Structure 1
């Protein structure tokens, strides 16, 4: 996948607007880790959570489903395929990790790690003060890392 940069106006730590180049193919989690805002343990916990979210099929569908529509099966065919063991296991791990983060922390965790929302956008959506998201995200990732037993 080719790197694609766009220019964005972002606020620096001192509240001043700065023009920056943003890589559209880099996740917010990877961006924070690459700039030293997240430890390796936190990054791995977030990456594992995102992988479980994807394996569980919890993301929005982008393509058409080719299985039969409910109630419209021809010739008495079998029902739509059941989720596989790997998908169910991923869903259980994801649910356990989100529960381990706890209420109030799971929101920012899901927005940044799974939905790929930037920290400042997540802070605005949750009604939080500027720069509160990084601290809360770090606390959530710490709990998730413990749940995944990452040392």
Structure 2
């Protein structure tokens, strides 16, 4: 049996942080995250992988993928199944659909189609290039730009940024007089 590449990442959805297991062999993003370029860096950064997987999770939760068989979920689920943060299943689906819509609006029409194809429908880069009549290796560059924009929309960054020195806020006893320690 072939070895699977499972990675655990943490995503924030509706203010709730959750650990998510990601099968890196299933997603083109996982493949790109594992591959290294000539400079030794991976083709996509971890923050780009997290952004793409977050989009995919919302897309799946929203039920936006086409179904190939009958939907038996309504028969087997109770009203509270599949929801999070006190939402019933249909409210959770609607909320996920709204998150996908906001993300697509934030990345713009230039990147939204490519992100849906690669992140949600799991199309390979070569397939995307063939379908769009793009030159070879173009999709990788455009995907990286789209994932950067998506990560920015989600508030994700590769490095924390803030002031060089923060104001000290601490309760402490008064300083002892000089010479008395």
Between Structure 1 and Structure 2, the one with more helix by share is: 1
**Partners of 1:134 and 1:143 in 2: how far apart?**
14
Please tell me whether residue 27 in structure 1 is matched to residue 36 in structure 2: no
What are the ranges of 5 or more consecutive residues in structure 2 without an aligned counterpart? 5-23, 36-41, 76-87, 158-181
**Partners of 1:61 and 1:25 in 2: how far apart?**
22
1:10-59 Cα offsets, whole Å, 9 max, x none, are xxxxxxxxxxxxxx952111100111110001000000000000000001
Report 1 or 2 for greater relative contact order, CA contacts < 8 Å, sequence distance ≥ 6.
1
Q: 1:106 aligns with which of 103, 112, 117?
A: 112
TM-score (norm 1): 0.71
- Inter-CA distance 146–88: structure 2 relative to 1 (3 Å threshold): same
* Larger radius of gyration between Structure 1 and Structure 2: 2
- Equivalent pair of 1:42/1:145 in contact (CA under 8 Å): yes
- Paired residues in the alignment total 120
- Equivalent pair of 1:3/1:25 in contact (CA under 8 Å): no
Match of 1:86 in 2: 92
> Shift of the alpha carbon at 1:4?
8.1
Structure 1 residue matching 2:109: 3-state secondary structure:
coil
**Partners of 2:70 and 2:113 in 1: how far apart?**
29
Cα RMSD (Å): 2.5
**Partners of 2:133 and 2:109 in 1: how far apart?**
15
Runs of 4+ aligned residues of structure 1 deviating over 3 Å after TM superposition are 2-5
